[in-house]
Amino acid sequence: MTEKQYEKATFAGGCFWCMVKPFDEQPGIKEVVSGYTGGHVKNPTYQQVCSETTGHYEAVQITYDPEVFPYETLLELYWQQIDPTDEGGQFYDRGQSYQTAIFYHNEKQKQSAEQSKQKLEETGPFRKPIVTKILPASDFYPAEDYHQHYYKKNPERYDAYQTGSGRKAFINNHWGEK
């Protein structure tokens, strides 16, 4: 019997609290970790990343089975969680650490991400240009424990944040009620 071949996908979509649940609930997803990537400081803390001095993005790193949940399907789900036209952050979270980006782990992921972005630009529900960056994956640092699976640990606060930030209404308006 051969061991399952899992792959990694890394997405920045604003507050990482809101990026875990949509992926965590899918078949073939082994793990979703909130963390920081793309910066120049080793093992940054939440406070350092929020200071906008480390160059990191808040992101999620997903370990998945590509035979059950292909990367292209991950990309489709990713686009439906963000405002890909907002270059200043996401919803009421502003700054570089809250910008959107797809971090590819290999050339195939890069090509899939570029094709997916182009398709969204041509057929998606947005009038403004898609500004989400496609960048090579770099070191990923898991966030502090209290950030992991926040939607499970603090469901009321999570729901209030999703609603209060405008993310939930935006998703429903552009992609329909989930």
How far apart CA 52 and CA 97 sit, in angstroms, is 7
pLDDT digits (tens, 9 = 90+) for 25-70: 899 999 999 999 999 999 999 999 999 999 999 999 999 999 999 9
- One CATH from 3.20.20.220, 3.40.50.300, 1.10.10.10, 3.30.1060.10 for 7-168: 3.30.1060.10
**15 carries an active-site annotation:** yes
Is the entire prediction scored with pTM above 0.85? yes
CB 103 within 8 A of CB 37: yes
Position 140 scores a pLDDT of 98
Question: So where are the chain's domains?
Answer: 7-168
Kindly name the residue from 7, 10, 13, 15 that is annotated as catalytic.
Answer: 15
pLDDT in single tens digits along all 178 residues of the chain: 456 799 999 999 999 999 999 999 899 999 999 999 999 999 999 999 999 999 999 999 999 999 999 999 999 999 999 999 999 999 999 999 999 999 999 999 999 999 999 999 999 789 899 999 999 999 999 999 999 999 999 999 999 999 999 999 999 999 876 5
Position 125 scores a pLDDT of 87
What mean pLDDT value characterizes the chain? 94
Task: Measure Cα distances from 136 to 101, 105, 152, 176 in Å.
Answer: 10, 6, 30, 31
